[in-house]
Amino acid sequence: MRNYLKLLHMEIHRFRYILFVLMGLTALVQMCAIAFNAMGEINERNVYFEQTGRAPEEFFAAMSYTRAVQETQFWFAVPVGLSIAVLVIYAFLIWYRDWFGRGTFAYRLLSLPSERRNIYFAKLTAILTFVFVLVGFQLLLMPIGRAIFAMIAPADQLQPSYIADAIFANQVFKILLPRSFAEFFVNYGLGIISLLVLFASILLERSYRWLGIVYGLAYAGFCALLMVYPLLALGLNYSTGYFYTEEAYAIQMAIDALIVVASVWLGLYLLKKKVSV
Q: What is the pLDDT of residue 235?
A: 58
Residues 66 and 134 in one domain: yes
Residues 6+ apart with CB under 8 A from 178: 184, 187
Report helix, strand or coil for 60.
coil
Condensed to tens digits (0 to 9), the pLDDT of residues 133-189 reads: 999 999 999 999 999 998 988 877 788 888 888 888 888 888 888 878 888 888 899
Q: What is the pTM of this model?
A: 0.86
Condensed to tens digits (0 to 9), the pLDDT of residues 9-24 reads: 988 999 999 999 999 9
Q: What is the pLDDT of residue 21?
A: 97
Residue 3 structural domain: 1-177
> What average pLDDT does the structure give for the chain?
85
Q: What is the DSSP letter of 152?
A: H
Condensed to tens digits (0 to 9), the pLDDT of residues 200-255 reads: 999 999 888 889 899 999 999 999 998 887 666 665 555 555 666 677 778 888 89
Residue 198: band (very low, low, confident or very high) from pLDDT cuts 50, 70, 90: very high
Residues 35 and 167 in one domain: yes
Calculate Rg over the CA atoms of the chain. 24
Domain end (from 142, 177, 212): 177
Residues 169 and 210 in one domain: no
Q: What is the pLDDT of residue 56?
A: 56
Condensed to tens digits (0 to 9), the pLDDT of residues 69-96 reads: 988 899 999 999 999 999 999 999 888 8
Residues 66 and 172 in one domain: yes
Beta-strand runs (E) in 50-204:
63-64, 158-159
Residues 110 and 199 in one domain: no
Q: What is the pLDDT of residue 25?
A: 97
Measured between alpha carbons, how far is 190 from 217 in angstroms, rounded to an integer? 18
Beta-strand runs (E) in the chain:
63-64, 158-159
Residue 28: band (very low, low, confident or very high) from pLDDT cuts 50, 70, 90: very high
Measured between alpha carbons, how far is 277 from 269 in angstroms, rounded to an integer? 16
Residues 233 and 171 in one domain: no
Measured between alpha carbons, how far is 273 from 263 in angstroms, rounded to an integer? 15
Q: What is the pLDDT of residue 148?
A: 93
Q: What is the pLDDT of residue 159?
A: 81
Residues 277 and 169 in one domain: no
pLDDT at 68 over 60: yes
Say how many C-beta atoms besides its own lie within 10 A of residue 277's C-beta.
13
Domain end (from 123, 157, 177): 177
| Beta strands 63-64 and 158-159, pairing class | parallel
Among 81, 165, 185, 177, residue whose Cα is nearest residue 136? 177
Select, from the ranges 6-10, 66-70, 109-113, 192-196, the one with the highest average predicted confidence (pLDDT).
192-196
CB contact burial 192-216 (16+ within 10 A = b; e otherwise):
ebbbbbbbbbbbbbbbbeeebeebb
